């Protein structure tokens, strides 16, 4: 258990999906956790599973579908170098006129079980981003966020909220 936090729920899985508003257009979805800020409630993230839709196979055109999950709103798909990014995933197809090779890059969506948690969400929402590249149709991402609700000490809650908001 994380020091300074008291678990208040069992492990829950929260499903989500986001589809681009148009092909190759960055789109972000918001998922409300319904946390209780008056009781210093946070969400402790244990694991994340991101499943972007496969990019289009177009001869001679490189295509991709990128997705991320963050604790703050973004203006583009995030990667793990961003402080509020907890997971990202990219599917690529690289082609020439006669050959195609698919690539998948994930940021160890469900890390080794030696970790106590992946992240802590102190504000009420988390955000899911998706963007395609070179595709003819809109792409999307679906997935699950696994974790539990917890109550934080006042000083820890204040520090978590401030850190999350200021690093946005």
Kindly report which listed range (66-70, 90-94, 107-111, 145-149) carries the lowest average pLDDT score: 107-111
What pLDDT is stored for residue 106 in this prediction?
A: 60
Q: What is the mean pLDDT of residues 107-126?
A: 76
d(CA 145, CA 44): 10
Count of domains for the chain: 1
The H or E element that residue 155 is part of is helix 154-166
* pLDDT tier at 159, thresholds 50, 70, 90: very high
Give per-residue pLDDT as tens, 41-72.
999 999 999 999 999 998 889 999 999 999 99
Q: Give the predicted TM-score (pTM) of the model.
A: 0.89
Using the predicted structure, report yes or no on whether residue 112 has a pLDDT greater than 60. Answer: no
Give the model confidence (pLDDT) of 8-27 as tens digits: 999 999 999 999 999 999 99
Expressed as residue numbers, the domain containing 45 is 5-166
What local confidence, expressed as pLDDT, does residue 94 receive?
87
Provide mean pLDDT across the span 122-147. Answer: 96
CATH classification of the domain holding 80: 2.60.120
Q: Could you tell me where the beta strands, DSSP code E, fall in the chain?
A: 5-7, 12-19, 27-32, 41-52, 63-70, 85-95, 100-106, 119-121, 125-133, 140-152
């Amino acid at each position: 258990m994380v020091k300074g936090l008291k678990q208040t729920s069992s492990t829950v899985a929260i499903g989500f999906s986001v589809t681009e508003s148009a092909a190759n257009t960055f789109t972000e979805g918001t998922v409300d956790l319904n946390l209780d800020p008056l009781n210093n409630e946070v969400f402790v993230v244990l694991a994340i599973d991101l499943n972007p839709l496969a990019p289009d196979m177009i001869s001679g055109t490189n295509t991709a579908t990128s997705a991320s999950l963050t604790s703050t709103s973004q203006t583009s798909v995030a990667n793990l170098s961003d402080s509020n990014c907890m997971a990202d995933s990219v599917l690529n197809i690289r082609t020439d006129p006669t050959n195609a090779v698919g690539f998948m890059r994930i940021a160890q969506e469900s890390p080794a079980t030696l970790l106590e948690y992946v992240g802590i969400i102190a504000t009420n929402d988390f955000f899911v981003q998706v963007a395609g590249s070179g595709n003819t149709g809109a792409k999307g991402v679906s997935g699950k966020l696994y974790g539990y609700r917890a109550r934080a000490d006042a000083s820890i809650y204040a520090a978590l909220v401030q850190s999350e908001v200021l690093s946005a």
